[in-house]
Amino acid sequence: MACDCMLLPHRDGNDLDSPLELHPLPNGVWDGKIAYLDRDGVLNKGSENYINSIDELVILPGVPNSVAALREAGFRICVVTNQSPIGRGIWTSKNLNSIHIKMRELLLEENSNAHLDLILYSPYSPWDGAWARKPNPGMLEAGRQIISASENNIIPNLKFDTDWENRPDESTSVMVGDRNVDMAAASNFGVRGFRCDPDIGLPDVLAKILGD
């Protein structure tokens, strides 16, 4: 694993390199595709003042069915979200975890196949220069390795930046976000980026993803 000085991603509710239990995909064997999804403006309604509690969490219309459609098309789902309120001391990772627990519940209430396989976040402030914070690709790097290790029933041995050699092909994977930093992270990781309207979220670009 790369040194801590890189300011690595955090994993919601668990240690970064802990084993991950994956829900089976609806249509059989995984062929390596991952949909890396930003959170605010993609899955839920965003706010300039952050999503600070479960009471402020509003899932965008059609998102549960869109997540399920990606899984039905063979994609694993990896949420990658900048969450600087933690680094700024506004609230804690425990609060963020409560929001994500509620998010998972709301998605599954509407569609039982709308599983989020993995949620990664960057708790760092913009001025920290963290490898984990988009537009840097640290969260996407971690997501690929954690999911791949779990599919092969092994414990992930995470590497980042130039320490990670012999990377897998990402040509069938996608990154969805509503901001320039998301598209930059996609470019820096070498994956196709789809920018959505933050008032619509994932459903705005679903047809483009599935039609490619």
The token duo for 40 is 């605010």
Which one of the listed residues 40, 117, 178, 204 is annotated catalytic?
Answer: 40
Q: What token pair was written down for 31?
A: 């062929």
User: In the prediction, which pLDDT does 188 show?
Assistant: 97
Phi and psi torsions of 190, nearest 5°:
85, 35
Give the C-alpha distances (Å, rounded to integers) separating 183 from 4, 21, 39, 49, 194. 26, 29, 14, 22, 7
pLDDT in the model for residue 153: 87
pLDDT tens, 86-143? 999 999 999 999 999 999 999 999 999 999 999 999 999 999 999 999 999 999 999 9
Q: Is 40 a catalytic residue?
A: yes
Task: Classify burial at 104, counting beta carbons within 10 Å of its beta carbon; exposed 0-12, middle 13-18, buried 19 or more.
Answer: middle
What tens digit of pLDDT does each residue of 154-205 get? 888 999 999 999 999 999 999 999 999 999 999 999 999 999 999 999 999 9
Closest CA to 130 of 84, 195, 180, 188: 84
User: Can you give the pLDDT at residue 5?
Assistant: 59
**For the chain, how many structural domains are there in total?**
1
Query: Catalytic pick from 4, 12, 17, 38?
Result: 38
Cβ-based burial of 40 (10 A; exposed 0-12, middle 13-18, buried ≥19)? buried
Distance CA 125, CA 111 (A): 34
pLDDT number for residue 6: 83
Helices (H), the chain: 63-72, 84-87, 93-110, 138-151, 180-189, 206-211
Nearest CA among 65, 132, 50 for reference residue 96:
50
pLDDT at 3: 43
Asked if 151 and 38 touch (Cβ cutoff 8 Å), the reply is no
Tell me the mean pLDDT in the region 4-15: 88
CATH number at residue 199: 3.40.50.1000
Q: Among 17-21, 73-77, 181-185, where is mean pLDDT lowest?
A: 17-21
Distances (CA, A) of 50 to 56, 84, 154, 211: 9, 9, 36, 33
Domain limits at 23? 4-211
Residue 1 has pLDDT above 80, yes or no: no
pLDDT digits (tens, 9 = 90+) for 21-55: 999 999 888 999 999 999 999 999 999 999 999 99
pTM of the model: 0.96
